[in-house]
A and B are shown apart, each in its own frame.
Chain A
Amino acid sequence: MLLPYTLGLIVLVAFPAFISFGLAFFQYDGLTTPRWVGLLNFVLVYTDELFLLSIQNSLALVIVSVPLRVLGAFVVARLVQRNGRFLSWFRAAIFLPTIIPAPAYVMAWLWLLNPLFGPLNLLLRAIGLPAPNWLADPVWAKPGLILIALWQIGEGFLINLAALQDMPPEIENAARIDGANSFQFLRYITFPILLPILLLLAFRDAILIFQESFTTILLATNGGPYYATYTLPLFIYEQGFDLLSFGTASAALWVLYMITGLVVLCLYLIARQWGIGTTDETFVI
């Protein structure tokens, strides 16, 4: 019963990944036979200023939005963890933006962030705050994208919620008796217990953002204004699907593989450290 999954992984993930690894050494346009060019693609790509810029932009997006998303998911999950009225509806409402199909969601935000007519800026002006020009402004385009990413945190929210629910209530009761206040409890008990999960989530989110941001960027900014939101996926998309230069696209992918490799390594270390996958209690993802 494990067979279809294994086969699927091999054909749809392992094999394509392997091919793209090798394609980096060929010149290939999908039409003529591939031609061995050695390291030429790497030289071309790694001297391309746009490529370097795209990595910078990608990293900037990930570094800012991932902690915000993971912490946001944690805080929100903590808020609706314990019983109360309409609890399941609160949870549903928080999850709802995640259900919206990505292009529809991007379209909604494109309207919300419209610099002149968008409801968000109307609101900001109404309460006397400066209304930035968001996606139309080279400086504010990235914050705009990060803002868009902050609402769809349903998956992280659920995982945090499950992890919080998994904590035995006795711990909290014991801590209360010892006189710990809420903050102390959070800081010294909840947080350490949840740390591996938050870290796992952060890594997964980093990879996810790399990818998800592409849809947003393609529909909302197309890399602009003036390359302010030009990211690695966009570079790879242009190389692969616009210029049909699969070789250079593969060479660019190597960076991604290196990042992924690092992430997987960290993951493995974390997993070993906390014994994830062996014990039941902390296993959530």
Chain B
Amino acid sequence: MRNRYLLSQHINYILLLLLTLILLIACQNNQPTTISFMVFGDPAERQAYLDLVTAFQNTHPDIRIEVTHIPSPRDYRTRLATEFAAGTPPDITLMNYRRYAAFAASDLLEPLGPYLAQSTRIQPTDFYPITIQAFTWQGTIMCIPQNISSLVVYYNQDLFDKAGLPYPSADWTWDDFVNTALVLTRDDDGDGRIDQYGLGVSPSLFRLAPFIWQNNGPLVDNPEHPTKLTLTRFPALEALQWFVDLRQVHGVVPDRIEEAAQDSESRFVAGTTAMYLNSRRGTPTYRQIKTFRWDVAPLPRGKQAAGILHSDAYCLSRTAPHKDAAWTFIEFANSPEGQAIIAQSGRTVPSLIQVAESAAFLDPTQPPANSQVWLDTIPTLKTVPVISTWEEIEKIASEEIERAFYGDITAETAASLAVTRTEEYFFIGQLAFPPLSDN
């Protein structure tokens, strides 16, 4: 009966092990007072925020900042929503101006205007006005914007040189843009499959919007009180058609299959796509490119020049237990010192005028050489409407735009589907929380 003893011994060990592990788990919940901070972004961006936290920790050893990092902005809202539902929202959240309204409308955010008013380190006037406006909800500044990025054209200088093309000029037009992309779209080995695309752009409402504005079209019927998208009206529809033609007529961007096989951003990084439309967000990752030289150019202009604001802000949760400590961090992050740290990583176009015009952002030793493009674009920037249901509206409209882009339906059909399918979300957004027309 040796077996018996063996087994009973084993059971003792197993129970002991279980008990120890359970105790270990029980203990690890006892954490010191900390401020949780949720950010999104790729690995390079994540590092930038870790650097910021380290710098803060050096001067404020009494406050511990715990970073939670979500890689995909698409997942971000789901994660954030669940956190709020769980009753444990992160104290500080980095949120885009297209997304914070849903949380502000549910009264989940602590307005930061009063904090900013009392600050001795930063004033509202230190910021580019459009960024403060974008984060003003019902007349109150809700969150502190960290950046004033916008959509630009990243381009592979080596591929331009190889094709004998001049680099894009500051006032290039839609036609220049398409012609450049056509020259750069190449089938090198003649197998009938394109090896190098001239352009990469994700087919979404947010990417399309600046081109609508450039074509003198409005995006929504009434920017202060939007009740529907106006994609079916002529200037917007014309811009949509032009956008769709990039794929359907000119074929300068990958089709759906090729995009699914390898996405355009990866193609740009791999050197097989010449131009890629992105905001400043791409810069930290592209700085790791060793195989070619690259720079940025402004968006081409249509009937007028127009850009689209990309801006994220530090928001404070209504239920955060240590609001003053959290504000100390937000204030630090948006002081010239803090914004310079993030700017140096390449992640942001600083929202503080002073930092944006400094070497921290315009560093000539780091690509892109032409960072000035972002600052030159600022006067022409526009924003999408800030309403609580904007994320759904964008998602649905983008689905239809994508179908037109890849040739499943016509631009007209996509436009009218996008308009009708989003109408109810405008209604919900308006119904609950009509934005004040304060400007």
| Contact between chain A and chain B defined by CB under 8 Å | yes
Complex contacts, B261 vs chain A, CB 8 Å: 114-118, 136
Residues 239-279 of B, flagged 1 when their CB comes within 8 A of A and 0 if not, give: 00000000000000000111111100000000000000000
B85 interface hit (Cβ, 8 Å): yes
CA distance A86 to B180 in the complex (A): 62
| Interface hits, A236-285 → B, CB 8 Å | 241-244
Q: How far is the CB of B23 from chain A (nearest CB, A)?
A: 20
Complex contacts, A115 vs chain B, CB 8 Å: 257-258, 260-261
From B108, B260, B399, contact of A135 by CB (8 A): B260
From A116, A118, A241, contact of B81 by CB (8 A): A241
Q: How far is the CB of B83 from chain A (nearest CB, A)?
A: 11
Given known A-B contacts A31-B106, A226-B403, A133 and B260 have beta carbons under 8 A apart: yes
Chain B at the A interface: mostly helix, strand, loop or mixed?
A: helix
Complex contacts, A242 vs chain B, CB 8 Å: 77-78, 81
Interface residues on B, range: 20 to 34
Residues 128-164 of A, flagged 1 when their CB comes within 8 A of B and 0 if not, give: 0000010111100000000000000000000000000
CA distance A242 to B403 in the complex (A): 24
Complex contacts, B126 vs chain A, CB 8 Å: none
CA distance A226 to B82 in the complex (A): 25
CA distance A116 to B257 in the complex (A): 8
A244 close to B85 (CB less than 8 A): yes
B85 close to A136 (CB less than 8 A): no
Q: How far is the CB of A194 from chain B (nearest CB, A)?
A: 36
CA distance A133 to B81 in the complex (A): 35
CA distance A244 to B86 in the complex (A): 10
Given A114-B261, A226-B399, 20 more contacts at CB 8 Å? A29-B106, A30-B84, A30-B85, A31-B85, A31-B106, A114-B260, A116-B258, A116-B261, A117-B261, A133-B257, A133-B260, A136-B257, A136-B259, A137-B257, A138-B408, A225-B256, A226-B402, A243-B81, A244-B84, A244-B85
Interchain Cβ contacts under 8 Å between A and B, 11 examples: A31-B106, A114-B261, A115-B257, A116-B258, A117-B261, A136-B257, A136-B259, A225-B256, A226-B403, A242-B78, A244-B84
Chain B: residues with CB nearer than 8 A to chain A? 77-78, 81-82, 84-86, 106, 108, 256-262, 399, 402-403, 408
Chain A: residues with CB nearer than 8 A to chain B? 29-31, 114-118, 133, 135-138, 225-226, 241-244
